[in-house]
Amino acid sequence: MAKNVKPIVETPIVGTPVIETPIVETPVIETPIVETPVIETPIVETPVVETPIVDPDFLDQAETLMASQNVKEIWRCPVKGYWFTKAENALDHSKKVDKSPEHYKL
């Protein structure tokens, strides 16, 4: 016996129509950036009170030298004991001996 063959009925595919919704661009409202003014707080520098390095044992000699050389400040190398009437010479020398000079003032 022949088997019953059921015919295949092809259901046509009905496409659902796509309704294209137009894209409405929402206008961007640009909010102006209001800069908040920065209030600058002035930095008050605390004055550095420079304490000259001195050796009390040489104060008298420093005063004598300042008087004889007619200068108001003088430097001394604590390593070699050399005196200087010019800061630049004292600082140059201090680099050689790797030690800050003593600084005496009237």
Partner 1 sequence: MTGLPNVVISLVRNGLGLVAETNDNTVGFILPGVAVTGKLVLNTPYAIYSTDGAKALGIDITGTNTAAFRHISEFYSVAPVGAKLWIIIVATTTKLSATVDKDLTVCPAKILLNRANGEVMALGIAVGSDAGTTLDGLDTEVSTARTKGQLLAMEYLGKIMPFVLVIEGRKMTDSASLLDLHTQTNYRTSVGLFSTLSDGSASIGLVLGSIASIPVQRKISRIKNGALPISTAYLSDGVAVKEREDLATISDKGYIVLRQFPNKSGYFFNGDFTATSLTDDLNTIARIRTIDKALKIAYNTYVEELDDDVEVNDDGTLNAAVAAYLKQKIETQVNGSMAGEISKFSAQIDTTVDILSGAAQKMYLNITPKGYLNPIEVVLSFVNQ
Residues contacting residue 93 through CB under 8 Å, at least 6 positions apart: 77, 80, 82, 84, 101
Q: Which of 59, 79, 80, 97 binds partner 1 (CB under 8 A)?
A: 80
Q: Which of 61, 63, 73, 100 binds partner 1 (CB under 8 A)?
A: 61
Q: Is 106 in the site for partner 1 (CB under 8 A)?
A: no
Taking the complex as a whole, the smallest distance from the CB of residue 90 to partner 1 amounts, in Å, to 8
Taking the complex as a whole, the smallest distance from the CB of residue 49 to partner 1 amounts, in Å, to 28
Taking the complex as a whole, the smallest distance from the CB of residue 51 to partner 1 amounts, in Å, to 24
Q: Which residues are bridge partners to 61 per DSSP?
A: none
For residue 41, give Cα distances in angstroms to 12, 38, 45, 46, 49.
80, 9, 12, 15, 24
Q: Which of 52, 79, 86, 106 binds partner 1 (CB under 8 A)?
A: 86
- 73, 103 contact by CB (below 8 A): yes
